[in-house]
């Protein structure tokens, strides 16, 4: 999919897999090195962090696939070492529920909690094929008519290290903010993949739901939009090939806004839905 990758990376052998790897120190305790490669300005991307926690939970729980993951972002993560502590809340036949927390160290060496997560895992491969849906894939121009950070004459505001890890092509109709003319619509749509060509899997969907520029940019808000809470539902194992991610904000009020994301795969299936509550830091 990406134009530049000479050798296509595979699930299990890619930048994303290496940078989300967790090492089991003892049962339920994992060491991880948060990569500086997934930062936006200096902040570690929330979707990347979710995938790291998702890896630890997949190791702890008897089921491998995230079905629903709810993350509360407590303090800002930094690139570097971190510890993840997991617990099995309930191991069921078709679904297991777990909890995980990611910690880093403050100046005095004390553990500081960054994120706490509840999640239920299952086996996406075991689900029946029935689908009744009124949801439709987002109407988007073909990839060739969309634009990524690499297409900008100067660095796009808000882009950073993560831009080199992603294959991100934004629908021009949601790119007004980059030209100084936000539409006011609160929508963001993009073709999404990993820059090294690794195909999507349930774990990378946790990244996909939080990897586009904030919808707040299209509402004319240019500041930082920190996530308070994000829940993602993985509905289907994605087919190989590029994903389409569509995010919408309908209600900005009292300094908070929701971001609703849908992820569609190359087979036109709705593979993930997410919603986050974020803070809008208005000017001043």
Q: Name the E strands within 14-92.
A: 23-26, 29-34, 39-40, 43-44, 65-73, 80-91
Token pair belonging to 120: 């239920």
In the list 13, 111, 113, 164, the residue contacting a second copy (rule: CB under 8 A) is 113
Report in angstroms how near the CB of residue 235 gets to a second copy at its nearest.
Answer: 6
- Would you say 255 and 234 are in contact if contact means Cβ atoms under 8 Å apart? no
SS3 per-residue string spanning 145-189: HCECHHHCCCCCCCCCHHHHCEEEEECHHHCHHHHCCCCCCCEEE
> What is d(CA 219, CA 199) in angstroms, rounded to the nearest whole number?
32
In the list 127, 152, 161, 163, the residue contacting a second copy (rule: CB under 8 A) is 127
In the list 120, 160, 204, 246, the residue contacting a second copy (rule: CB under 8 A) is 120
Q: Which helix (H) or strand (E) holds 266?
A: none
86 binds a second copy per the rule CB under 8 A:
no
- Would you say 138 and 242 are in contact if contact means Cβ atoms under 8 Å apart? no
Cα angle 147, 209, 258 (rounded to 5 degrees) comes to: 105
Return the CA Rg of the chain: 18
118 binds a second copy per the rule CB under 8 A:
yes
In the list 16, 67, 191, 192, the residue contacting a second copy (rule: CB under 8 A) is 67
In the list 60, 77, 97, 104, the residue contacting a second copy (rule: CB under 8 A) is 97
Token pair belonging to 102: 């990611």
- Would you say 71 and 104 are in contact if contact means Cβ atoms under 8 Å apart? no
User: Which CB, 30 or 67, lies closer to a second copy?
Assistant: 67
Please enumerate in sequence order all residues whose Cβ is within 8 A of that of 246, keeping only pairs 6 or more positions apart, or say none: 138, 140, 187, 188, 189, 261, 262, 264
In the list 29, 36, 64, 74, the residue contacting a second copy (rule: CB under 8 A) is 74
User: Which CB, 129 or 144, lies closer to a second copy?
Assistant: 129
User: Which CB, 165 or 233, lies closer to a second copy?
Assistant: 233
User: Which CB, 162 or 261, lies closer to a second copy?
Assistant: 261
Please count the residues of this chain forming the interface with a second copy, following the rule CB under 8 A: 48
256 binds a second copy per the rule CB under 8 A:
yes
In the list 6, 134, 180, 283, the residue contacting a second copy (rule: CB under 8 A) is 134
> What is d(CA 218, CA 204) in angstroms, rounded to the nearest whole number?
25
In the list 103, 116, 158, 281, the residue contacting a second copy (rule: CB under 8 A) is 116
Report in angstroms how near the CB of residue 277 gets to a second copy at its nearest.
Answer: 5
253 binds a second copy per the rule CB under 8 A:
yes
Residues that bind a second copy (CB under 8 A): 67-68, 70, 72, 74-75, 89-90, 95, 97, 99, 113, 116, 118, 120, 124, 127-135, 185-186, 219, 228-229, 231, 233, 235-236, 250-256, 258, 269-270, 273, 275, 277, 282
């Amino acid at each position: 999919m990406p134009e530049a990758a000479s050798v296509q990376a595979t699930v299990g052998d890619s930048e994303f897999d290496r940078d989300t790897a967790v090492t089991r120190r003892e049962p339920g305790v994992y060491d991880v090195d948060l990569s500086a490669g997934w930062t936006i300005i200096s902040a570690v991307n929330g979707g990347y962090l979710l995938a790291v926690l998702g890896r630890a939970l997949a190791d702890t729980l008897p089921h491998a696939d995230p079905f629903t993951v709810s993350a509360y972002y407590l303090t800002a993560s930094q690139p570097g070492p971190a510890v993840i502590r997991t617990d099995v809340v309930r191991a069921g036949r078709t679904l297991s529920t777990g909890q995980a927390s990611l910690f880093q160290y403050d100046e005095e060496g004390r553990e500081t909690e960054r994120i706490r997560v509840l999640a239920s895992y299952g086996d996406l491969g075991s689900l029946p094929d029935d689908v009744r849906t009124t949801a439709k894939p987002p109407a988007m121009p073909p990839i060739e008519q969309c634009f990524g950070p690499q297409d900008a004459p100067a660095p796009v505001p808000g882009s950073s290290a993560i831009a080199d890890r992603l294959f991100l092509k934004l629908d021009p109709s949601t790119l007004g903010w980059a030209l100084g003319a936000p539409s006011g619509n609160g929508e963001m749509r993009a073709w999404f993949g990993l820059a090294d060509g690794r195909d999507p899997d349930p774990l990378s969907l946790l990244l996909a739901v939080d990897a586009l520029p904030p919808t707040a940019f299209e509402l004319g808000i240019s500041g930082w939009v920190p996530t308070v809470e994000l829940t993602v539902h993985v509905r289907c194992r994605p087919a190989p090939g590029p994903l389409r991610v569509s995010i919408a904000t309908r209600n900005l009020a009292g300094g908070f806004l929701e971001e609703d994301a849908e992820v569609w795969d190359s087979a036109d299936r709705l593979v993930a839905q997410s919603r986050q509550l974020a803070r809008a830091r208005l000017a001043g």
